[in-house]
Structure 1
């Protein structure tokens, strides 16, 4: 019975579709200021030594005001953060590690989990991308199930 439940769990993980990886709130978590909305772009940059998905997040907003004398002054606020997602799509935001993301990045790990950046146009001089993953096998630390089991004969004992 336990084996059927485990196989059902693995089968359901195998049919998951490509998903956009979740992000924290743009304001105030990623950017401590908002001038009518914060723009967020996310990137995947690879798998780390634990099998977790690593990436970068760029957040920005532009504030404008009329100055005295009729001049218009705009101020752009921006920030970069590093983010790590586990295979269950939980995330942890870290200080920026200065890794420049590649908008065309794709990778697949030993379990068949694939990650990629889906990009279009540009936002504030950066490619507008969304970090996404296709997760086939959720727990990379789980021990594989053996197909065969050897049992010693116990008849007559």
Structure 2
């Protein structure tokens, strides 16, 4: 885009997604825009697998990136990576679009993508409801919403 500052360093080398996400956490809109441009196709691809309606998938993508913007300051550079972090947020937003509570979506995400068992999920979430209840009710709600 003409006239817009790019978040590349002075030597012209590309900045990593991790750097862009950290800078986004400091309210750097140019860094966030670059990160969005790099990750939007992957996020949309993931979301369309979970949300079958194209209009709803676009809305979920927007909500996911808004959540990324809001939570960017909490990104831990020691985590698996910026792309995984953003895709994890998009996945949870897509599950919530199916009518899941945040706890149900988080429990399903921890079980499916992090491979945690119900005891580990209980310890991680610290929720009043046990993980087995969250997982069962979440899977039932997903099945009722069309098997996403």
TM band (smaller chain): under 0.3
Higher fraction of strand: 1
Q: What TM-score results when the alignment is normalised by the length of structure 2?
A: 0.26
Higher fraction of helix: 2
Q: What TM-score results when the alignment is normalised by the length of structure 1?
A: 0.25
Q: Which has the larger radius of gyration?
A: 1
